[in-house]
Structure 1
Amino acid sequence: MSTAERLVVIVLFDGVDLLDVTGPPEVFSLTRRETGAAADYRVALAAETLDPVTTSAGVRVLPDITFDDAAARRIDTLLVPGSVEVVGRGQVRALADEAVVRRVKALAGAARRITSVCVGAHLLAAAGLLDGRRATTHWSTAPQLAAEHPSVEVDADPIFIRDGDVWTGAGISACLDLSLALVAEDFGEDVALRVARQLVMYLKRPSGQSQFSVPLEPVSTTRRVEDLRHHIMRNIGDRLTVADLAAHAHVSERQVTRIFKAELGMTPSAYVEAARVEVARNQLESTDATLERIVSHCGFGTTDTLVRAFRRRLDTTPTEYRRRFRATAG
Structure 2
Amino acid sequence: MPSIGVVLFPGFQVMNLAPLTAFEFANLELGHDFYDVTFLSEEGLPIRTSIGMVIETDAFSGRRFDTVIVVGSIKVDPSAPGLIERLRETAATARRIAATCTGAFLLAEAGLLDGRKAATHWAHARDLQRLHPSIKVDDDRIFVSDGNVWTSAGMTAGIDLTLALVEDDLGPEMSKSIARKLVVYHRRTGGQSQFSALLELQPRSDRVQKVLAYARSNLRNELSVEGLAEAARLSSRQFSRIFRDETGQSPAKAVENLRLDAARTMLEDGRHSLDTVAQETGFADRERMRRAFLRAFGQPPQVLRRNARHLATPDISS
Pick the aligned partner of 2:71 from 81, 95, 99.
81
* 1:57 aligned residue: 51
| Equivalent AA in structure 2 for residue 12 of structure 1 | L
SS where residue 140 of structure 1 aligns? helix
Give 1:76-155 correspondences, 5 Å limit: 76-85=66-75, 93-155=76-138
Aligned pair count reads: 224
Alignment-derived partner of residue 10 in structure 1: 6
Q: CA deviation at 1:274?
A: 4.5
Alignment of 1:1-330 (within 5 A): 5-20=1-16, 22-37=17-32, 40-63=34-57, 65-68=58-61, 71-73=62-64, 75-85=65-75, 93-207=76-190, 208-210=192-194, 274=268, 276=270, 307-308=274-275, 311=278, 316-317=289-290, 320=294, 323-324=298-299
Q: 1:48 to 1:210 in 2, by over 3 A?
A: closer
Q: Report if aligned partners of 2:27, 2:34 keep a CA contact under 8 Å in 1.
A: yes
CA contact (8 A) 2:19 2:159 kept: yes
- Determine the structure 2 residue equivalent to 1:239: none
Relative distance call for 1:159 and 1:7 in structure 2 (3 A) is same
Per-residue CA deviations over 1:263-321 (Å, capped at 9, x if unaligned) read xxxxxxxx9975658xxxxxxxxxxxxxxxxxxxxxx9xxxx5x436646887439727
- Whether the aligned pair in 1 keeps the contact of 2:117 and 2:146 (CA below 8 Å) is yes
Contact 2:142 2:152 in 1 (8 A): yes
Q: In 1, Cα distance between the equivalents of 2:170 and 2:280? A: 30
Answer whether contact 2:193 2:297 (CA < 8 A) is retained.
Answer: no
> Residue 147 of structure 2 aligns to which amino acid in structure 1?
G
| Ranges in structure 2 where 5+ consecutive residues have no aligned partner | 197-264, 284-288, 304-318
Return the offset for 1:58: 1.0
Indicate how the Cα distance of structure 1 residues 312 and 84 shifts in structure 2: closer, same or farther if over 3 A, else same.
same
Secondary structure, aligned partner of 1:154: strand
Does the 8 Å contact 2:87/2:110 carry over to 1?
yes
| Partners of 2:118 and 2:165 in 1: CA distance | 16
TM-score between the two structures when normalised by the length of structure 1: 0.61
Given that 1:311 and 1:317 are in contact with CA atoms closer than 8 Å, whether structure 2 keeps it comes out as: no
Distance 1:140 1:100 in 2: 24
Gaps of 5+ in 1: 86-92, 213-270, 278-299
Amino acid at match of 2:290: T
Q: Secondary structure in 2 aligned to 1:317?
A: helix
- Contact 2:180/2:186 (CA < 8 Å) preserved in 1? yes
Matched residue of 1:171: which SS?
coil
Aligned-residue identity in percent: 34
Asked if the contact 1:310–1:317 (Cα under 8 Å) also holds between the matched residues in 2, the reply is no
